[in-house]
Amino acid sequence: MTIGSISPFWRDSAPLILASKSAGRQLALLHSGVPFEAIPADVDERAIESRQEGADADSIASALARAKALAISVRGRLVLGADQVASCEGRIFGKPKDMREAEALLRFLSGRRHRLHSAIALARDGAVIFEAIEFADLTMRDLSDAFVAAYLVAVGDDALSTAGAYQIEGLGAQLFSKIEGDHWTIMGLPLLSLLEALRREGALLS
In a domain, 164, yes or no: yes
Residue 5: predicted pLDDT: 63
How much is the pLDDT for 167? 87
> Is 83 considered catalytic here?
yes
pTM: 0.90
206 belongs to a structural domain: no
Total domains in the chain come to 1
Tell me what pLDDT residue 117 has.
96
Within-domain flag for 145: yes
- 10 vs 43, more confident: 10
Catalytic: which of 12, 42, 56, 83?
83
The enclosing domain of 46 has a CATH number of 3.90.950.10
Q: Is residue 51 part of a domain?
A: yes
Residue 205 lies in a domain: no
Average of pLDDT values for 155-179? 92
Q: Which contacts (CB < 8 Å, 24+ apart) does range 197-201 have?
A: 197/122, 197/130, 197/132, 198/16, 198/34, 198/78, 198/122, 200/130, 201/12, 201/78, 201/122, 201/124, 201/129, 201/130
Range of the domain at 136: 2-200
